Amino acid sequence: MGVQQEAEVGGEALEVWIDQDLCTGDGICAQYAPEVFELDIDGLAYVKGGDDELLLAKGATTPVPLPLLTDVVDSARECPGDCIHVRRVSDSVEVYGPDAE
C-alpha cells in the first residue's frame, strides 16, 4: 500500500479486518480493493500489510488508506459472508460491517 494518508471517520483512523470463520471465499473484497484484500490458497480472504504481504493471523488488522475508503466500505457492504469489519483504531468500535450500529 505504501505510505498513504489513512482514512478517518470523525477525525479517527480506521482499520479493517476479516473474520475468516465467516468468509465464503467469493472474492468480492479483492475485486473492490485488491490493494487491501487478497484470497489465499485456502480460498479465504485476508487483509494485506503495508508490504503487500497477507496477514494470516486471526483478527489481523490493516489501516484503511484514505483513497480506498469507499472501496473498503463497499466490500464490507457487499460481502455475502458479512465478514469484513471496519473499525476505529482508538476504541475498536465498528463503523462499517455487520456489527456497525
Q: How confident is the model at residue 12, as a pLDDT?
A: 78
pLDDT tens figures, 61-98: 999 998 999 999 999 999 999 999 999 999 999 999 99
The mean pLDDT value for 33-60 works out to: 95
Per the listing, cell 462499517 goes with: 96
Cell of 81: 459472508
Q: How confident is the model at residue 1, as a pLDDT?
A: 38
From 90, 91, 84, select the one nearest 68 (Cα to Cα).
84
